[in-house]
Amino acid sequence: MTRFENRNWFTFAIENPAEGLLKTMKCVEELCKCDQIRACEVIIDQCHFGKFRSGERMLNFKKPTILITNNPGIIYAFGTKDKRWYPDAPDPKFRCTQWCPCDSFGSKHPSTETSNHQNGGTHASHLAPYPEALSCAVALHVNNWWRSNEAEAHLG
C-alpha cells in the first residue's frame, strides 16, 4: 500500500452536535466506512472544557458533541468507542460520567434543552459557544501528531 492509498495524505475533523443530523448523512456515513479514509466518531462532553456564557451567567452546560475525524492525534487524545480503524485507541476520555466527571459533576448541569426558558426563549445550545479550550486542544493534538509522524517526511 502506498502512502497515497492510506489516509495519511489528508486529515479532517467535522464537528457535529450530538443531537445534530450531520452524522446521519450518507456522505458522512460513507466517510466512516471507507477503509482508505478511516474516519470515526469522537464523542466529547464540552463541560470538561470550561463554563460558557448564557445570557448574563456563566454556566457549565454538558453539551455533548461529536468530532468525525480521521486524525490519530485527536482520536488517541480524546478516545473513541469505534475501534475498527484504531483498535488500541482509548475509550472516550471526556464524557461526563461518574468515571470521568467534569468540575461540576456533583452539581446538576443546566440542560441545553430545558434551560431555554431561562434565557429569554433562546435555546441554550445557541448561547453556549464552542469552547476555546476544546478548539485549542484539538489544534494541539493535530499539530503534535503531524510533527511526530509526518513532518520529517514532508519537510526533510
Residue range 63-105, pLDDT digits in tens: 888 999 999 999 999 999 999 989 999 999 999 888 888 877 7
The one-letter amino acid code at 76 reads Y
Q: Which helix (H) or strand (E) holds 139?
A: helix 132-149
Mean pLDDT of 151-155: 69
CB 92 within 8 A of CB 42: yes
SS3 154: helix
CB 111 within 8 A of CB 105: no
First to last CA, the chain: 22
Entry pTM: 0.77
